[in-house]
Amino acid sequence: MKNTRISNFGFQILAVVLALVVTSLILIAAGANPLDAYKNIYAGSFGSFEKLSDVLVAWIPLLITVAGLLVTFSAGLWNIGVEGQIIMGGIATTWIVRLLQDTTTPPALTIALAILAGMIGGALWAALAGALKTFGGVNEIFGGLGLNFVATAATIWLIFGPWKRPGVASIAGTEAFNESVWLPTMGDTRLSLWALGLAIVSIMIVYFLLQGTYIGLRLKAVGKNPKAAYLLGVPTWQYSMMAFMLCGAFAGLAGAMQVMAVYHRLIGSISSGYGFLGLLVAMLVNYQVIWSVPVALFFAALNIGGIQLPIILKLDSSITGILQGTLVLFVLMMEGVRQRFMKRAGEKQ
């Protein structure tokens, strides 16, 4: 038991090293010094308090999204549609704010209702993917992918159509909300402690849901063997639907945070790819909720740290995406290698 844990860890370290090697080779091919690049990424993420607060700003939606994805992953579902669910959360939130901000509704209530609407919007969008799978036989990967496109198109249409800024409509988004309904941020930073708190609460809820409740156990059973779960008395399709809607609610919350705390308007790319990045993190932590906290932080740091690469090293910031992607690929690959290795060792005994 102890041995497997050590070998497990060894294989994961090896995966990280391999990912760094591949990324370094690409950097060298691009004519940059890898060490310089890594140094800059570090300086750009943890180098100062402002940088660190930016990392946390990126960490919030990522962590909330991962929390939701851990639910669908546990239920054996590939919720690729999470990206669209974040967008729908953002749209629903914007809608409520636009509806209420100029009325006599107290701002706090407006904020609360808007966030709630975001969660409902995300959950309903996820329910659509779930219904397509459960009742229409459409694999959730394809259904989700299609719905992502629809959600993106809906944002563009709203920004350039019904919700366009007076004067010139622009992809930069709708008109900013009244400052009274912004989630308060810390000092000069964009970091909202409210959002940070909600992110931490989200991951804690999922942790307890999956570790200690019957709902979590049944979700896992459905994910690992739906036929047996059904014979053991778990209403399988209802649980699949529930997993989708829970994930959608978290994704919607992430979208709501982007709208309420970061941009204060609906922008064209409100999800900023956090859905897909969340999928990477969820795959990487392999159902272990606790690990998603540091891994999501690391990924957020890479995202923020990469921003200054173009200015300093004339490198495109997408280089951090390469590092994130190769990291996931190598970790998954090493997991396969490890299993083969263990099997062979088992046969030898």
Partner 1 sequence: MKVELRGIHKYFGKNHANDDINLTIPSGTIQGILGENGAGKSTLMKILSGYFHADQGEILLDGKPVKIASPAAALQAGVGMLHQDPLDFPPMRIIDNFLLRTSGDFFPNRKHAAQDINLLMKEFGFSLDPESYVDSLTVGERQQLEIMRLLFLGARVFILDEPTTGISAAQKAKLFETLKKFPEQAITAIFVSHKLEDVEKLCDRVAVLRQGKLVGQMEREQGKPFDNKKLVKMMFGKEAPLAPRQAYSQEGSVLRLNDVSVEDARLKIRNVNFEARAGEVIGLAGMEGSGQGVFLRACAGLIRTVGGTVQVKEKDLTGKSYHVYKNNGVEFLPAARLEEGLVPGLSLTEHFQLAEKAEGLFIKQDVGVKLAQERIAAFNIKGTPVSAVESLSGGNQQRALLSLLRTPLSLVLIEHPTRGLDIESVIYIWSKLKERCKQGSAILFMSSDLDEILQYSDRILVFFNGKVSQPLDAEKTSVAKLGEMIGGRGWQEEPTA
CB 330 within 8 A of CB 70: no
> Which residues, 6 or more positions from 55, have their beta carbon under 8 angstroms from its beta carbon?
45, 46, 297, 300, 301, 304, 305
- Residue 254 near residue 32, CB atoms below 8 Å: no
Options 22, 220, 268, 269; binder of partner 1; rule CB under 8 A: 220
d(CA 274, CA 282): 12
Q: What is the distance between the alpha carbons of residues 187 and 193, in angstroms, rounded to a whole number?
A: 11
Binding residue (CB under 8 A) for partner 1 from 41, 86, 221, 260: 221
Confirm or reject binding of residue 283 to partner 1 (CB under 8 A): no
For the chain, how far is it from start to end, CA to CA, in angstroms?
A: 15
Interaction of residue 4 with partner 1, rule CB under 8 A: no
Binding status of residue 114 toward partner 1 by CB under 8 A: no
Q: Which is nearer to partner 1, 78 or 160 (CB)?
A: 78
Least distance to partner 1 from the beta carbon of 117, Å? 26
**Does residue 204 interact with partner 1 by CB under 8 A?**
no
Which one among 235, 273, 294, 336 touches partner 1, defined by CB under 8 A? Answer: 235
Binding span for partner 1 by CB under 8 A among 90-98, 170-178, 230-238, 306-314: 230-238
Q: Is residue 284 a contact residue for partner 1 (CB under 8 A)?
A: no
> If DSSP codes are grouped into helix, strand and coil, which group holds residue 290?
helix
The contacts of residue 127 (CB under 8 Å, 6+ apart) are 241, 244, 245, 248
Asked whether position 349 contacts partner 1 by CB under 8 A, the answer is no
CB of 61: closest distance to partner 1 in angstroms?
Answer: 28
Q: Which stretch binds partner 1 (CB under 8 A): 2-10, 91-99, 228-236, 327-335?
A: 228-236
Distance CA 36, CA 267 (A): 34
Count residues binding partner 1 (CB under 8 A): 19
**At its nearest, how many Å lie between partner 1 and the CB of residue 218?**
7
Which DSSP symbol is given to 103?
A: S
Positions touching partner 1 (CB under 8 A) are: 212-215, 217-218, 220-221, 224-225, 227-235
